[in-house]
Chain A
Amino acid sequence: MTQTLLHVQGITMDFGGVRAVNDVSFDVSPGEIVALIGPNGAGKSTVLNMVSGVLTPTQGEIFFESHRLSRVKGYEYPTLGIARTFQNLQTFDDMTVLENVMVGFHSNTKSGLLACGLKLGFSRREEQDMYDRAYQLLEMVGIATLGHLQAGSLSYGKLRLMEIARALATKPKLLLLDEPAAGLNHSETADMTNMFREIRKQGTAILLVEHDMDMVMNVADRIVVLDQGQKIAQGLPEEIQANPKVIAAYLGEEEEGGV
């Protein structure tokens, strides 16, 4: 393994008296796709929320390149190179699809209040540039024809693609995806899997939380398995598939009644 991009070191998250995540550590290397899997309530989304700065770990520390994430403000994450999508979609419904993606360029652009209000030359060029690049990103995820529609009028699956385009607009080194295939049909999932390979080819690492095992086994370079807040395994997809602990965790899920 080369130099690590993301280094998660012993993070723990307590919600009141409930320990949702307990002493979890793992790494992500540049350009690598790591999947975070586990039964419902294993703490996957909580881990993702800590890595993306929405939650602060009760204990432990997360490093991104040379930065301690506990010292980085939420809005500075995209500047560092971390972008994310949301499990329960956080889209800007009243904007067009293109505008949604253009918001993603926020951290890489500069036009301030006066420049925008007076439509100064450079802010106009920046605007045009954002528009063009947003369109390209929509082409890449395959929804360019929907660019001028209000985001609120799109189907669930298309909104997921839009969120990915919006996250890619920040030019991330690490893309955090929270159940991107939820609610997608077979062919949409296959398209998305191909897209992740394309994103990886361009040098962006992905940390993927996903329930669709076909997708995970297909696209992940490495897999980290959580169960009840603890890391129970990590390794290559084929190793994970054969791991008795993992199988037990998944088969035992119904008895314990996942949260």
Chain B
Amino acid sequence: MFKDGKFKKSYLVYLLIVILFPLFVSDDYYQSVAVVIGLHAIVVIGLCLVMGLTGQISIGQAAFWGIGAYTSAVLTTKFGIPPALGLVAAALVPGFFAYILARAIAGLQGYYLAMATLAFGYMVQIGITEWESVTGGANGIIGIPSIGFFGETEIGMYYLVWGFVTLVLIFSLNILNSRVGRAYRAIHKSEIAATSMGIDVRKFKLSAFVVSGMFAGISGGLYAHYMGILDPQPFGMHESIVFITMVVVGGMTSIWGALIGTVIIEMISEGLVAASHVIPGLKGDIDTIVFGAILVLIMMFMPEGLVPRLRTAYLKRQVKKAEHGKQKQKERETVA
């Protein structure tokens, strides 16, 4: 475990980067990339709680994201509700859906759980597309009001989104090393042992799903107000798989890993876009192929993910250093 001081150091580095980024990068385009990274990071941290900690695979995370986005979009455009309240609903409604889903599939594990969440993802995307009277169908919704946070600027949105990322990050890191987080991790390792320790496995799986659904929903709501327009296309399996790739790359068991995985995948994605301007062959769904390859390679060579791998390497070096120091001391003693 990390001592308090070390945690604080990582928080500090994180906050410095987040606060200073827009001051050094004033280009609107890259600021908008940073906003999107933040939006995805919120979803991915939630997915990390349910998948990495509790061990419940969800291939339908983009559905919660979409439900959140449409909830806030519909409420604000059709009923004139202020965006701030729309955001609250964007958290609650997907949370409710997550609750229903988790109740329904409580007994499922492994492949069956994966299939059920996959099916849920499809159902939601098709539902959004077909419910034209409310969601505008495939044409989507336009004219979603933006959230006035320090004016309607890119930089205001950046700080709003990353404020939410920070809250979600701290909340999740607190959970990780707490009674609830240990219950999640215990369920992941052995449901029998967890039960024998008094952990209500169903209840905790349920709460992990609901929290991850709410996080995704908040992100979806922010996304809707940020984009101003919505259509069902981004809320399908493709996006769900990208979220999973982000969690896996960073390291499923690490909350920081979820954040770092998101940043890495987004940067690769941006790199591909930039490369496609130069190399004409790199058009279309090239990112799907690249992410798929990354997922396979990570599974083969670094299944624990980047952050846990680096952490282990760091700890090993510390141990080596300590042993080396001891040996030197011994040598000195023998010489003396």
User: Which residues of A line the B interface, CB within 8 A?
Assistant: 52-54, 73-79, 83-84, 86, 90-96, 99, 102-107, 109, 111-113, 116-119, 123, 126-127, 130, 148, 166-167, 170
Contact = CB atoms under 8 A, between A and B. Distances in A.
Interface in B165-197: 171-172, 174-175, 178-183, 185-186, 189-190, 192-197
Interface of B: 1, 171-172, 174-175, 178-183, 185-186, 189-190, 192-201, 207, 211, 253
A75 B200 contact: yes
Contact of B175 (A77, A117, A148): A117
A119 B193 CA distance: 26
Given A90-B193, A102-B182, A116-B180, A96 B1 contact: yes
Nearest to A92: B189
Nearest to B182: A103
A130 B192 CA distance: 22
Given A95-B182, A148-B1, A170 B171 contact: no
A117 B174 contact: yes
B200 A111 contact: no
Given A54-B196, A106-B197, A117-B178, 19 more contacts: A52-B196, A74-B195, A75-B198, A77-B198, A86-B193, A90-B189, A92-B189, A92-B193, A93-B189, A94-B185, A94-B189, A95-B185, A102-B179, A111-B179, A116-B179, A116-B181, A118-B171, A127-B178, A127-B179
Chain B binding site: helix, strand, loop or mixed by DSSP? helix
A94 B181 contact: no
Contacts of A104: 197
Contacts of A126: 179
Contact of A123 (B178, B195, B198, B199): B178
Given A94-B185, A117-B174, A75 B201 contact: yes
A53 B179 CA distance: 23
